[in-house]
Structure 1
Amino acid sequence: MCGIIGILGRGPVAEQLVDSLKRLEYRGYDSAGVATLEGDHLDRRRAEGKLKNLEKRLAQQPLSGHAGIGHTRWATHGKPTESNAHPHATDNVAVVHNGIIENFRELRAELEKQGARFASETDTETVVHLVNSYLLKGHTPQQAVAASLPQLKGAFALAFLFKGHGDLLIGARKGSPLAMGYGDGEMFLGSDAIALAPFTDTISYLDDGDWVEITRGSGVIHDVSGAVVKRDVLKSGASSFLVDKANYRHFMAKEIHEQPEVVGHTLARYVDMGTERVMLPARLPFDFNDIQRISITACGTASYAGFVAKYWFERFARVPVELDVASEFRYREAPLRKGDLAIFISQSGETADTLAALRYAKSQGAHTLSVVNVPTSTIARESEIVMPTLAGPEIGVASTKAFTCQLMVLAALAIAAGRGRGELSEADEAKLVHGLVEVPRLIAAALTTEPQIEKLAREIAKSKDVLYLGRGTSYPLALEGALKLKEISYIHAEGYAAGELKHGPIALIDETMPVVVIAPYDRVFEKTVSNMQEVAARGGNIILMTDAKGAEEATVESLVTIIMPDMAATFTPIVYAIPVQLLAYHTAVVMGTDVDQPRNLAKSVTVE
């Protein structure tokens, strides 16, 4: 979602604020702004669109203050205009905000009665006027914030800058992440460690309900009751990552090509490749034999990783699995048996709906396990067990390497469950682990299909609609392929279980319809071929993703056949994700869309 940065510096901070905001571009945004304090003068610069527009504004009208806050906004209330851009300010206080204030209408009506004059359509401006109302009554900044926070309903992270207080930043969080960074004679606030990486590797994450008063010498954290508390001081590894495109045109392309390496890193964390055994990084606080049901909850691409894992858990461990999208699970009050296992998957570890689902599962007495890419995130910190992916920072909004790393972690966990329940022998485990060990190499082989896919993308870009079909574990991948194409090319696409084709979707097929069929040569391959024949009979253009054996055995002529490396069928989704991602990427490039930051989307969805 939105990106926040705050700096109490030793010199002018405007340039530092903008540089840090650039590291937060991966969150998605439609406007940006900064505010600084110079003496008693609070001033700000805002711009619609990309950060280059803000940089132009600052070049024309520089800010020289030594304390400041900055923001990249993803619109929730009000259009992406300069007047709606953050920071929002009165003469006395400026604020930047990530999240949604649910009761802003009631607050705004009351504040307007008191004489407040609003200049934007945003929910955020109610916060600045609410705090200002207490300042006008003689409260200190700390008192004003402490009095205001209990009145705010919703999920938020906030950073405040106050006129006449050049050595003070105040931050607060409820639901949305916020971290404090420690420097030498300077201090920082940021949405995450990546934002703070240029300045410090020493950080503290605020817990839910915390607020913090920061000076250049210290940070005093208060919990939701107002009591002063200590939070862990951590060393972040974010500064060690080079968050740039390297030689690639887009971050998404770079991240697709990083998958052999990062999936390999993840594999090494969970598998002893010498003995071909699964080696989970943490001792589990339960016995898999005591687990009667597994619940998997996630959003978007992560939910499709969970869908694939459902097949694995049920096949390897013979344990029933329920799969939910978090936005539904959190409200339907699903019955959970105390002592069963609930798994939560999130790249950022901050997804609001997934976090709410996690808290519900904990309240029901379920064991909670999270698969996250940020091990210091809120979901990770609140989970009983954390199984981190090792994808590194994923900057492109459309998830690629995080997805395949999630699959690797879930595959290892499913094998461990099978062994724990006695459904897999040592020989079975060794065979499955051997298949996982081959995956990084097979991903590298799959990447060699890129020239063929790049050529194919020029044809897909002419289409208005695309269907994706798959059976077994290829069905969730069909859903993911359709999502990827929609996300970044804006072409309408749908994924279906191949066997469902004749139950409705076949009505859509004509000679203009590309149909992507994901069909490794496996035990359901012949069934999928029969569905391909139904498509061909109606003039559909088949794009077949299969292996050499599948290409040989397919009796249907395809527009294009993308030959994947030979491999055991069990873990094909991890490898076949590559051509699916490449097809979406290159189609989007042909379409001329903003591949890394597609319209209307955000990387980390920290509001409902």
Structure 2
Amino acid sequence: MCGIVGCMGCPNGTLETLMDGLGNLEYRGYDSAGVALGPVLETRKRAGELDELRKTVAEEPPTGDFGVGHTRWSTHGPPADRNAHPHTDESGRVAVVHNGIIENYQRIRDELEAEGVTFTSETDTEVVPHLIARELESGSDATNGDGGCSPADAFHAVVDRLEGSYALCVVVDGHEAIFAARQGSPLVMGVDERATYLASDVPAFIERTRDVVFLEDGQRVELRPDDWTVMDADRSPVEVSVETVEYTAEATGKSGYDHYMLKEINEQPDALRQCLSGRLDELDGTIEIEELSDLEEPTSVQIVACGTSYHAAVYAATLLRGAGVPAAAHLASEYATAPAPLGKGTLVIGVTQSGETADTLAALREARARGARTLAVTNQVNSTAARECDDVVYIRAGPEIGVAATKTFSSQLMATLLLTEDLVGLAEDLDPLIEALRDLPGAIQTVLDTTDAREVAAEIADSDAYFFIGRDRQFPVALEGALKCKEISYEHAEGFAAGELKHGPLALVTPATPVFAIVTGDGERARKTIGNIKEVEARDAPVVAVTDGRSEAERYADLVLEIPETHPLTAPVLTNVQLQLVSYHLANDLGRPIDKPRNLAKSVTVE
């Protein structure tokens, strides 16, 4: 669920404002869209591209003085008109748009269905309008004279019941107001002399105003025709500052977060939805990247990259070898001066977030000069790598401002997974993997909502060094976890293949060197990694298990970071999110300049 837009008192017409805002949010990725206008409530929604909604509203335009709109990426329920937002109650009196995940929705849904409520969608969001409608009819605060409660009271009562992450906007038939709340999902308000706006991010209304209020977690807002109020969860008014922003990524990117890095960690569910959009076909059970339709299966693959992108390359090479294709990841700076031998049919892949990384470009140029076909995996459209390579796959992570890569790494992992399946195939039965990919954004959100990373970081602060271990597909996550720790906390950290710890690095293990052990699944790799944990325990080093609980690794750990169970190929994304958060909180506690670590640049354009 990706994009929210709302407006009250729009001078250029409510419907036009909402549709323009939804168009500005298309970059976030979506598979359906809709609008609701009031005070006489009218809703229109369609699955598919925004053009489908435009056709619908052109044929039967809704009218109103205010309204809300939404672009959705499927989480609960497939792309379909019935699952598109806004969602309404049975009578059509309440309309709701929502980003995030309501974790206790099933319990609420069971309760409402037991009372006779009929649901029309599979979404978690639909419980909200039904709850509000029930409060309006039978709420205890009878302030509107008809035995129920006021729309404002009903909204607050329902928000108090919700668990999870959400940005919510609600309109009620016959009532001139928009109610909104933020908890763990971005929501920003735009203001000017005539109108007020709500959106997931500033680009939705930037053409109309640059004066904004970045709402914080736990805050709620009521927009009325002549004023607006921001309040806390107790409904006490909150003083907020109106900021004037410039339309640049740096000026508008934080959306109320303390750091770009934290914002971008929290954007990973949306980033993954964008990466996967249009590439999964659940009905046919296929994964396909349209840009690679002319690319033949390679006989071997060489992957060149630097830094975080190199760790994604290690993951990709592991996938390819598992699919039976000879593959190796190379540090681009080494490959450019000492390239590996090329065989007939060798494909050289360059993984680069910016598409401008000098070492990676040099390696790709060397490979192409020697006759290899080249492919760029990048985030930047029309970047040098995208232009110079024979083929390109975009990871679609969106703008990333923080120097330490977060959401782009997750998107690189998934883009290379999709790439591997498209090129050579990962398994005969893709259904479990496709299901895991579909559920992955929600699983990341669960990690974000339930993580103990802050407490873990506090426990291990002031250590001498930090070690990270993992096997197979979790090995590159161990490398990346150590790199993040180094980049932003300035603390010494190292990542190892778990089995290598005893071949030398174990000499460095002491009671002052916490070891992060990544253990997922319950197979041989997990059992062997638990053996490595015991080796560490014998040296009195604290152990932090990053685990899905299937191997009971937590029994041997001092601290635990949990992830939901998922497919073995997608588990590295979830373990990585936990390690990102640990590094962030450790660096924040140490007072480091997280977004701009010393000596580092976002795009390294020199060799």
- Establish whether TM, by shorter chain, passes 0.5: yes
Q: How far 1:389 sits from its partner (Å)?
A: 1.1
C-alpha distance in 2, partners of 1:310/1:283? 18
Contact 2:299 2:344 in 1 (8 A): no
Which runs of 5 or more residues in structure 2 are unaligned? 1-205, 208-246
Q: How far 1:447 sits from its partner (Å)?
A: 1.0
Aligned to 1:391: 397
C-alpha distance in 1, partners of 2:438/2:273? 8
Aligned to 2:307: 300
* Counterpart secondary structure, 1:549: coil
Aligned to 1:546: 547
C-alpha distance in 1, partners of 2:271/2:250? 13
C-alpha distance in 2, partners of 1:275/1:343? 28
Q: How far 1:555 sits from its partner (Å)?
A: 4.5
Cα distance change, pair 269–345 in 1 and its aligned pair in 2 (3 A): farther
Where do residues 79-118 of structure 1 align in structure 2 (5 Å cutoff)? none
C-alpha distance in 1, partners of 2:533/2:360? 37
**Alignment match of 1:328 (pick from 329, 334, 345):** 334
* Counterpart secondary structure, 1:380: helix
> Percent same amino acid among aligned pairs?
41
What are the superposed Cα offsets for residues 471-494 of structure 1, whole Å, 9 maximum, x if unpaired? 111111101000000000000000
Q: How far 1:439 sits from its partner (Å)?
A: 1.2
What are the superposed Cα offsets for residues 51-90 of structure 1, whole Å, 9 maximum, x if unpaired? xxxxxxxxxxxxxxxxxxxxxxxxxxxxxxxxxxxxxxxx
Aligned to 2:601: 602
User: What is the identity, as a one-letter code, of the residue corresponding to 2:471?
Assistant: R
Q: How far 1:267 sits from its partner (Å)?
A: 0.7
Cα distance change, pair 548–322 in 1 and its aligned pair in 2 (3 A): closer
Where do residues 344-383 of structure 1 align in structure 2 (5 Å cutoff)? 344-383=350-389
- 390-399 or 356-365, which moves further after superposition? 356-365
Aligned to 2:54: none
User: What is the identity, as a one-letter code, of the residue corresponding to 2:571?
Assistant: T
What is the root-mean-square deviation in Å for CA atoms of aligned residues? 1.9
C-alpha distance in 1, partners of 2:275/2:522? 26
What are the superposed Cα offsets for residues 547-573 of structure 1, whole Å, 9 maximum, x if unpaired? 1323x35542x2211121111222211
Provide the TM-score with structure 2 as the length reference: 0.58
C-alpha distance in 2, partners of 1:242/1:380? 27
Cα distance change, pair 283–562 in 1 and its aligned pair in 2 (3 A): closer
Aligned to 1:410: 416
Aligned to 1:564: 563
**Alignment match of 1:276 (pick from 271, 277, 285):** 285
Cα distance change, pair 533–477 in 1 and its aligned pair in 2 (3 A): same
Q: Does 1:473 align with 2:473?
A: yes
The alignment of Structure 1 onto Structure 2 pairs a total of residues equal to 362
User: What is the identity, as a one-letter code, of the residue corresponding to 1:362?
Assistant: R
What are the superposed Cα offsets for residues 152-187 of structure 1, whole Å, 9 maximum, x if unpaired? xxxxxxxxxxxxxxxxxxxxxxxxxxxxxxxxxxxx
**Alignment match of 1:314 (pick from 321, 324, 334):** 321
Where do residues 469-508 of structure 1 align in structure 2 (5 Å cutoff)? 469-508=469-508
C-alpha distance in 2, partners of 1:353/1:269? 31
Cα distance change, pair 492–517 in 1 and its aligned pair in 2 (3 A): same
Cα distance change, pair 424–459 in 1 and its aligned pair in 2 (3 A): closer
User: What is the identity, as a one-letter code, of the residue corresponding to 2:391?
Assistant: I
Q: Does 1:593 align with 2:592?
A: yes
Where do residues 5-84 of structure 1 align in structure 2 (5 Å cutoff)? none
Q: How far 1:313 sits from its partner (Å)?
A: 1.1
Contact 2:249 2:399 in 1 (8 A): no
What are the superposed Cα offsets for residues 263-283 of structure 1, whole Å, 9 maximum, x if unpaired? 111111422244331121214
User: What is the identity, as a one-letter code, of the residue corresponding to 2:273?
Assistant: G
Contact 2:375 2:390 in 1 (8 A): yes
User: What is the identity, as a one-letter code, of the residue corresponding to 2:266?
Assistant: H
Aligned to 1:256: 265
Q: How far 1:463 sits from its partner (Å)?
A: 1.3
Which runs of 5 or more residues in structure 1 are unaligned? 1-197, 200-237
* Counterpart secondary structure, 1:446: helix
Provide the TM-score with structure 1 as the length reference: 0.58
C-alpha distance in 1, partners of 2:258/2:427? 45
Q: Which has the higher contact order (CA 8 A, sep 6+)?
A: 1
What are the superposed Cα offsets for residues 16-68 of structure 1, whole Å, 9 maximum, x if unpaired? xxxxxxxxxxxxxxxxxxxxxxxxxxxxxxxxxxxxxxxxxxxxxxxxxxxxx
C-alpha distance in 2, partners of 1:497/1:457? 23
* Counterpart secondary structure, 2:291: coil
Aligned to 1:429: 430
Contact 2:314 2:328 in 1 (8 A): no
* Counterpart secondary structure, 1:503: coil
* Counterpart secondary structure, 2:570: helix
Contact 1:270 1:278 in 2 (8 A): yes
Q: How far 1:338 sits from its partner (Å)?
A: 4.1
* Poorly superposed stretches of 4+, deviation over 4 Å: 238-242
Aligned to 2:20: none
Contact 1:241 1:392 in 2 (8 A): no
Q: How far 1:240 sits from its partner (Å)?
A: 9.2
Q: How far 1:365 sits from its partner (Å)?
A: 1.4
User: What is the identity, as a one-letter code, of the residue corresponding to 1:285?
Assistant: D
Where do residues 196-207 of structure 1 align in structure 2 (5 Å cutoff)? none
Where do residues 149-228 of structure 1 align in structure 2 (5 Å cutoff)? none
Q: How far 1:241 sits from its partner (Å)?
A: 10
Contact 2:489 2:592 in 1 (8 A): yes
* Counterpart secondary structure, 1:394: coil
Q: How far 1:355 sits from its partner (Å)?
A: 0.4
Q: How far 1:322 sits from its partner (Å)?
A: 1.5
Aligned to 2:202: none
User: What is the identity, as a one-letter code, of the residue corresponding to 1:315?
Assistant: G
C-alpha distance in 2, partners of 1:520/1:242? 39
C-alpha distance in 2, partners of 1:322/1:379? 20
* Counterpart secondary structure, 1:518: strand
C-alpha distance in 1, partners of 2:380/2:483? 23
Contact 2:522 2:550 in 1 (8 A): no
Contact 2:432 2:567 in 1 (8 A): no
Contact 2:519 2:553 in 1 (8 A): no
Cα distance change, pair 363–464 in 1 and its aligned pair in 2 (3 A): same
C-alpha distance in 2, partners of 1:255/1:283? 28
Aligned to 1:463: 463
Q: How far 1:437 sits from its partner (Å)?
A: 1.6
Aligned to 1:210: none
User: What is the identity, as a one-letter code, of the residue corresponding to 1:529?
Assistant: I
C-alpha distance in 1, partners of 2:455/2:361? 41
* Counterpart secondary structure, 1:311: helix
C-alpha distance in 1, partners of 2:487/2:248? 29
